[in-house]
Chains A and B, each alone.
Chain A
């Protein structure tokens, strides 16, 4: 069964450094998402992406964050200058149609030192 894959599984970065989290959505999907889950807290929506542009973003997704679909398969989340509070599990999700379930990857655990 096709699945969403995320790399790396764990990323450790010094505060202030840039980090790029990578995702390969399911191949025929058109809608892409990033979520984060701080340890012990809810899964929170960050951003949705469709037709090569952001379709919705939450308050969390400030100017430090950006997303990109550099080619036909990858979908990336960049955090420009990481802060301690960016430490969380980051999930990528995709779906083929807007009213269909989103399928999630296993996540990237980001640890900021």
Chain B
């Protein structure tokens, strides 16, 4: 079955600093999704990557999918308090309307 490993598990970063979160899959990914979750709340969609080597950016967040489609990274530039939360990567490895498999998440804390 699909397994997603996220690293680090938690991250404390000073406001204004850059950071990177990684997500590694045990199988080739059909689609890789990044979500953000605030504690006790729902998942907010950030970005979707489907092609090997693909890179997408939104505001200060950039996500990349490697050529082999087994690893993705999420990079935040000049972090702000609003970036704090839990970042989850989710995998779609079947290409259909199937459920996503999620990693355990990375807890991001931004220190002022």
Contacts and interface: CB of A to CB of B under 8 A. Distances in A.
User: Bound pair: A and B?
Assistant: yes
B interface bracket (residues with beta carbon within 8 Å of A): 20 to 34
A101 B98 contact: no
B43 A43 contact: yes
Nearest to B44: A104
Contacts of B102: 42-44
Contacts of B92: 99
A42 B104 contact: yes
B42 interface: yes
A21 interface: no
A33 interface: yes
A48 interface: yes
Contacts of B97: 31, 48, 50, 55-56, 95, 98
A99 B31 contact: yes
A98 B45 contact: no
Given A42-B104, A42-B105, A101-B33, A56 B42 contact: no
Interface of A: 4, 31, 33, 35, 41-48, 50, 55-56, 58, 89, 91, 93, 95, 98-107, 109
